[in-house]
Structures are given as C-alpha cells and as structure tokens.
Amino acid sequence: MDGNNRKRCFGNIYKFTRKEDAFNAGVKLNDIFGTWDFTERGNKDRSIANFIKGDPERTGILLREVNINRRRISAKFVSRLNKQRANQGGGPGPFQVGWEWLTGTGPRHRDFTNGDYFTELLRQHSHIEETRNLIRNGSRKGVNNYKLGGVQEVGLYIKDYSTLLTVGATGNLAVTYLGSYGLTYNVTGISGNLTTVLFTVTNSSTIESATHPPVIGYTPGWSTYIGQPLNNFFSSGPLSRTTQTFNWTETIRLK
C-alpha cells in the first residue's frame, strides 16, 4: 500500500481510493482480508443515500479483515475477484438510471448494448435464460415479455425486489429496477449448431410502473383511476417517464 493510497479504517474495514491498489492488496493479502466488496464513486461510506446515488461497483474494493487466523483464502476467492472485475462493464447501472428518473436529471432515454454494466446484469436474469431455451427449442424470432402482473408472479416480484434487502445477494439488480420488460429475439445467423441472436429489451420507467402493487395494480381500474392520473401529474421533471432500450447479441449453442 503506497503513499498515494488513502487508507481508512472503520473497525475491521480498510478502504482504498484507487481500485487497482485495492485489488492488488486484496490479492496479495488475501490471507488477511477475508471478504470484499466494491465501493461506490468517491463515497466514504455505504449509507443508503450514497448507495442509491451511485453504482457501487465503480471505484474501489472494500476489504474486510475478518480472517483473524490468517488462514489463506483459496484460489477460488481470487478467481471470483478477477471474474467480477473483468465483468465490470461501462455505462450507468440501475442505481444511476433510477436516480436520474427520481430526480429528473440525465437523459430521458438511454441505449445499452453488449459490455455495458446494465446489459451484463440483465443478461444474467432467469427470464433471459428461459428465452434462450425457446431458441434452443426451435423458435427463431418472437416476443417473450417478462410479466409480473398476476397472482403467481407475486413470488417473482418478491424475488426481484429482494436484492434491495440482501444488497444484491439474491435476485437480479437490473430487474429490480426494470420490473416487467418487453423482450424480442431474432436469430440473425446459424453456423452449424451455433446461432447468433439479437435480443432487444425495452422498458419505460414511470410513476405508475413504480407504484403499482402486484395483482390489483395491474387491473384496468388501477391504471385508469390511479396509474394514468399519476403519470399525467408527473409528466415532466422528477419521476417523469424515462425509457431504456437494450440491444445485445450473443451466440447460443443449439441442441
């Protein structure tokens, strides 16, 4: 840890301002630091306000000195650290996009593609995998929207929103923000048993979509008397409609 690093100690937590140094220290000293997490941009603590403001995977790695017996952490730990780091894409994530919607700042429409952090999160969602299975089973072009509105989707609802309680340990953070979304897929090329697929996900963020509860919130009455009047009230500025489009391609091995 060289002199350029500002090391802060919060009990057993060491915080670094430079990701590279933190990462290297984490690898070198993995016999000391038992667990780790990313830190958010420039923030000194993980208060709720700072957590909402920025995507936590941006600037550093927070190392927790929990391994007091100096037991060497397995190669699996280092591998996981490397993998997570490699998967870090660019562009804003769900928290930033959510903050923009909440405050009325930033662009009203955003496009995401392969490699973007938000896209890479979304690609891990179970519904995307279900769509891949449709393609493996022979579908070449279609719509497979992700729906949350019915009685049986209460479980999905809880799972998607559990990310907020478990700070990402369960659910999918991208879908926590998106909620239901529109999905189209299009096979653009087949070579042997490999197929190239273009996925397009569309989503709009409105006060209606943010506030409707499961089941009854998806009925025509709710939309007419609560959802749409709310949308009209927040037609500009904070809480007004923003849209997101995700376009990415991937290769899928057919059965």
Say whether residue 237 binds another protein (CB under 8 A): no
Contacting range for another protein; rule: CB under 8 A; set: 28-36, 89-97, 163-171, 182-190: 182-190
Contact residue for another protein among 203, 239, 242, 244 (CB under 8 A): 203
DSSP 21: H
Contact residue for another protein among 22, 73, 183, 230 (CB under 8 A): 183
Task: Measure Cα distances from 82 to 20, 61, 66, 79 in Å.
Answer: 12, 12, 20, 5
Q: What phi and psi values does residue 245 have, to the nearest 5 degrees?
A: -125, 130
Say whether residue 234 binds another protein (CB under 8 A): no
CB of 26 within 8 A of CB of 61? yes
Contact residue for another protein among 4, 69, 152, 166 (CB under 8 A): 152
CB of 198 to another protein, least distance (A): 9
Residues 6+ apart with CB under 8 A from 200: 183, 184, 185, 186, 245, 246, 247
Q: Which two three-digit tokens encode residue 35?
A: 């667990």
Strands (E), the chain: 8-10, 13-15, 35-39, 60-64, 109-113, 141-143, 182-191, 194-205, 242-253
The alpha carbon dihedral of 7, 70, 39, 89 has a sign of positive
Contact residue for another protein among 182, 234, 240, 252 (CB under 8 A): 182
Say whether residue 240 binds another protein (CB under 8 A): no
Identity of the residue, 45 or 130, whose beta carbon is nearer to another protein in the bound complex: 130
Residues 6+ apart with CB under 8 A from 239: 101, 102, 104, 207, 210
Say whether residue 228 binds another protein (CB under 8 A): yes
Contacting range for another protein; rule: CB under 8 A; set: 53-61, 98-106, 107-115, 137-145: 137-145
Contact residue for another protein among 49, 75, 86, 151 (CB under 8 A): 151
CB of 96 to another protein, least distance (A): 20
Q: Which residues bind another protein (CB under 8 A)?
A: 134, 139-145, 147-153, 156, 179-180, 182-184, 186, 200, 202-204, 206, 208-209, 212, 215-220, 222-223, 227-228
